[in-house]
Structure 1
Amino acid sequence: MDIHHVRYFLAVCETRNFTRAAEKCNVTQPALSRAVQQLEDEVGGLLFRRERNLTHLTDLGNLLRPRFQSILDELSGVRQEASRFLCLEDAHVKVGIMCTIGPRRFTGLLTDFNMRHRGIQLQLVEGVPPRLSELLEAGEIDVAIMASSDQFPERFDVTSLFSERFMLAFPAGHRLGQYEAIPISAIDGEVYLKRVNCEFNDYLSDVCTACGVHTQDSYSSEREDWIQNMVAGGLGICFLPEYSAVIPGLQVRPVTDPEVTREVCLVTVAGRRFSPAMATFVSAVKSYGWATPHSAIDMRRIA
């Protein structure tokens, strides 16, 4: 059943005249008449009683008119929805965010993106790298922002956004406050609070072992805010990514001898086509001014 046939039928219903209906649909009257006849052949009965000056709907025509109108309305709605999506008026992008990434570096991006593209709604999905990789591959999220201590799988396209040093976080008045940068060897014997979701846990453990450092493991938590609050409360120290410290009063210093860094990356599935909204978001992330000198942020404490 051709949708144009349905549209011509409804135009005749409205005008009750084949000539005026043809003008309304911008087709010739013979073409419209043939289309209506083809529609009648498909449904198996007459839809109109044709008269010289006025055309009347048959009982079958009256029965089918609301059904045909519903079909046309639904198709129009689909087209309008697709148009809004393609014009970025009502589009959605699901963004996976690694749970150990702090919000400080991303607030500016999200604010700028919202001002420029108010029709695109971003849904942020938090998770650890293995889970985000699964969601990304399955198409349940569109893009991910994360880091890894290992290489990303070849099936992903990876764009580095910024480097982030690891810091040591400790409470006010702690002996580590004497250092401008803390060598790994200086934390030997300290009470350590473990951030369970840190993707660098194994790597940091190996670094400590190589430096002959042994810490006293105390609390552990998946909650970044809990760990930071416990550190600020004097319960121990922890390694912390540079831009993740958000608890007031938390003391932080860069790690040195060796220095430990991670690359925060934009990750997409190689070869997968972007929707207009996703392409807009990816472009905005890549073009955002991520490079912020370390000196621009007070790394001694979070006020």
Structure 2
Amino acid sequence: MEMQQVRYFLALSNTLNFTRAAEECNVTQPALTRAIKTLEDELGGELLRRERQHSHLTELGRRMLPLLQQCYDAATSAKSLAKAVQSSEVAPLNVTISNSVNIALLVSTFTELFRAYPGVHLKINRGSPGAVIEALKEGQAELAVAGPLGQAWDRLDVWPLFQEGIELAVNADHPLARRNEADVDLSQLAAEPVLSRIYWETSEELWRCLSAKGYTPRTAHEVENDQDLLALLEANVGIGFVSLTSPRSANSRRLKLRDLDVSRIVSVYAVAGRLRSPVATTLLNLLRAADWSTFGVSEPA
């Protein structure tokens, strides 16, 4: 199997048309057709069923597509890496990270990327879920890391990274923190002022689960990010619901929520069908291969 054959197949899977695929790959149609036929012979079956205007991938073609895409991305990334190491060229990469994701989780992966691409120029933007989607739509970011973005845009490719629980955060001097217990019942929060997160990907699901348990939080103050919430927690002006990996401080304490199983999945996002740079593909592969269990989180369900 040759990378040229794989490239032709990926173009064909996108266009479902031999003429347009050949134009996209800058080869003649007979050359592309021969390469696809050779690939089909090697894989043992048809990859595309030719039916005039209704051509479509066969079952074998659909199963091979993600594997061959990964194979092609890895080969392209390897070639680019070799070139970057040889020339020390600058490789720009724009990444958007949700306000709710602790960047400390990503530092180790970024360090691996810097070793692979000494000339990488990483630009990190922060934002709400809406800003994350907008950055991807407008091409302002090649990759994004965020919690659940729902069905806001149907062109998103999603690779789940890890699943984490939601906990209660309180000031270390708060009466709830001085109890000799590691968890708390929702009935004990009835009179507590709650620090609420604006544009938190988990808010809707959390509030729905709390309501189902008969608890309606009494919102006292609203903030956009974990750092601001932590600052208000340290001032002891309220309690807050936070993700397990959000920043901590010596002046705050975490408590489990009794009889409430709420979690969220953090994923890496990209635009489906949009060509990614080799450095972005490398970062994507590093994120997907990372061992997130060291942060106390679990594999996505």
TM-score range, shorter chain: 0.5 to 0.7
Provide closer, same or farther for how the CA distance between residues 246 and 112 of structure 1 changes in structure 2, counting only shifts above 3 A.
farther
| Counterpart Cα distance in 2 of 1:146 and 1:87 | 33
Instruction: Provide structure 2 residue ranges, at least 5 long, that are not aligned to the other structure.
Output: 1-82
* Deviation (angstroms), 1:149: 6.2
Pick the aligned partner of 1:266 from 262, 268, 271: 268
- Aligned position for 1:181: 183
C-alpha distance in structure 1 between counterparts of 2:228 and 2:249, whole Å: 10
RMSD (CA atoms): 2.5
User: For the residues of structure 2 that align with 1:282 and 1:293, how far apart are their CA atoms?
Assistant: 19
Question: Is 1:104–1:243's contact at 8 Å kept on the other side of the alignment?
Answer: no
What residue is the counterpart of 1:123 in the other structure?
123
Q: Say which SS state the counterpart of residue 141 (structure 1) adopts.
A: coil
Describe the shift of the 1:121–1:148 C-alpha distance in structure 2 as closer, same or farther (beyond 3 A): same
Classify the secondary structure of the residue corresponding to 1:101.
coil
Q: TM-score, normalised to structure 2's length?
A: 0.64
**Which one has the largest radius of gyration?**
1
Letter of the 1:135 partner, please give it: A
- TM-score norm. by structure 1 comes to 0.64
Shift of residue 229, structure 1, vs aligned partner:
1.4
The aligned amino acid for 1:94 is N
Amino acid in structure 2 at the alignment position of 1:197:
Y
Q: What runs of 5+ residues in structure 1 fail to find an aligned partner? A: 1-82, 296-303
**Pairing of 1:106-121 with structure 2 (within 5 A):** 106-121=106-121
Change (3 A) 1:294 1:279: closer
Query: For the residues of structure 2 that align with 1:277 and 1:88, how far apart are their CA atoms?
Result: 13
CA contact (8 A) 1:100 1:197 kept: no
Q: Deviations over 1:109-137 (max 9, x none)?
A: 22232233211111101111122112102
One-letter amino acid of the structure 1 residue matched with residue 202 of structure 2 = F
How far apart, in 1, do the equivalents of 2:265 and 2:87 lie?
A: 33
More displaced, 182-191 or 281-290?
182-191
User: What residue identity is the alignment partner of 2:290?
Assistant: Y
- Please say if 1:237 is aligned against 2:244: no
Question: In the alignment, is the contact (CA less than 8 A) between 2:117 and 2:279 conserved in 1?
Answer: no
User: Displacement of 1:98 after TM fit?
Assistant: 0.3
Residue identity opposite 2:223 in structure 1: S
Q: CA 1:88/1:287 → structure 2, altered by over 3 Å: closer, same or farther?
A: farther
Q: How does 1:5-16 map to 2 (within 5 A)?
A: none
Q: Distance in 2 between matches of 1:210 and 1:238?
A: 19
Counterpart-to-counterpart distance in 2, 1:220 and 1:237: 12
* Counterpart among 263, 286, 297 of residue 284 in structure 1: 286
* Separation in structure 2 between the aligned mates of residue 199 and residue 86 of structure 1, nearest angstrom: 42
Q: Which letter does structure 2 place at the counterpart of 1:101? A: V
Q: Secondary structure at the match of 2:182?
A: coil
Alignment of 1:31-42 (within 5 A): none
- Structure 1 residue 90 corresponds to structure 2 residue 90: yes
More relative contact order in 1 or in 2 (CA 8 Å, sep 6+)? 2
Aligned residues: 214
CA distance in 1, matches of 2:285, 2:252: 35
- Higher mean Cα deviation, 132-141 or 252-261? 252-261
Residues 180-204 of structure 1 deviation map (CA, whole Å, 9 limit, x = unaligned): 2334343222111112131222222
Cα 1:267–1:256 shift into 2, 3 Å: farther
> Which residue is equivalent to 1:66?
none
| Residue 276 of structure 1, CA deviation | 1.6
